[in-house]
Amino acid sequence: MSLPRTQLVGTARAEREGLGRTIQFAPPDSWEAPSACDGWWNRDVMAHLASHEYSAAQLLAGERAEELDDYREALGDEPFSIDAYNSIVVNRRSGLPYRDVLTHWGRAADLLLERAADLTEEEWSTRRVNWMAGEIGLPYLIQSRVVEWWLHGDDIRAGAGLGIRLEHWPIYLTNDLAIRMLPWSLGRAGINARGRSVRVDLEGAGAGSWRWGLGAGELPDEDRKPDAFIEGRGLVFAKIAGRRLPAEAALDEGSLVIGGDEGLGDAILEHIRAYP
């Protein structure tokens, strides 16, 4: 279920404030310490986010996304690498004091949300922008930012010794985006699942029910039962989709269960991603 515009933008504002509070309460020395993201310090996580917020805000305004477009133009015929791009934008900010990095993120996130609120209904419904893995609609661009704020906020809290923020809507949006991206995620792994579908039923924070076709652009046949079933805890599913928890651990402890075609269910949990 896609959220209405007002609710999605409101959820984004709430999650921006939630990450802002995480920044406020994180000990100063935690920013120059390793984060839960392998190879990045906590300040690097925020540098990565700041770059993406500015690019997203520029795209919403119909402007050139400077860092993103510069990287694409420099590639020539080489394929786009999200990991390589992230390394470049993080390294570009490595010499800044961490307080500047945090300030830049806050300003960029606020600019993004202001521009999202200024869009016409027609723009919101029909415009597409060239993002990390290709063209996406504006609602999915905003949803992707909520997902990254929640996931990376949890990374920072873990690195700073703070507890998790157990909030339904950002966890729900993480699960929703990951399920919507399944055709892309499976195709990226070389798995052809055309004509097949999955039903996901989650409870607790992030709860919801989804029936989703696994081939690009496919709608599931409602007269045919899903090929695979996944049930369990919304938070656990989001952690797997965010690549923060191995699926095997959740299956072993019973916080997620698979039914139907277990091989397909295992493949979904192995390759599902909430971001490109």
> Are the C-beta atoms of 251 and 258 separated by less than 8 Å?
yes
Domain edges within the chain: 5-139, 176-271
> Are the C-beta atoms of 43 and 32 separated by less than 8 Å?
yes
Which pLDDT belongs to residue 276?
83
Between strands 208-213 and 197-203, the pairing is antiparallel
- In whole angstroms, give the CA distance from residue 15 to residue 13: 5
Which pLDDT belongs to residue 8?
97
Which pLDDT belongs to residue 36?
83
Which pLDDT belongs to residue 1?
56
Element (H, E) at 7: helix 5-25
Output helix, strand, coil percentages for the chain, rounded to the nearest 5.
Answer: 60, 10, 30
Which pLDDT belongs to residue 162?
84
- Give the DSSP letter of residue 31: G
Kindly give the parts of the chain with pLDDT less than 50: none
Q: Which numeric CATH code is attached to 176-271? A: 3.30.1050.10
- In whole angstroms, give the CA distance from residue 13 to residue 167: 13
Which pLDDT belongs to residue 184?
94
- In whole angstroms, give the CA distance from residue 266 to residue 164: 27
* Domain 5-139: CATH class, spelled out: mainly alpha
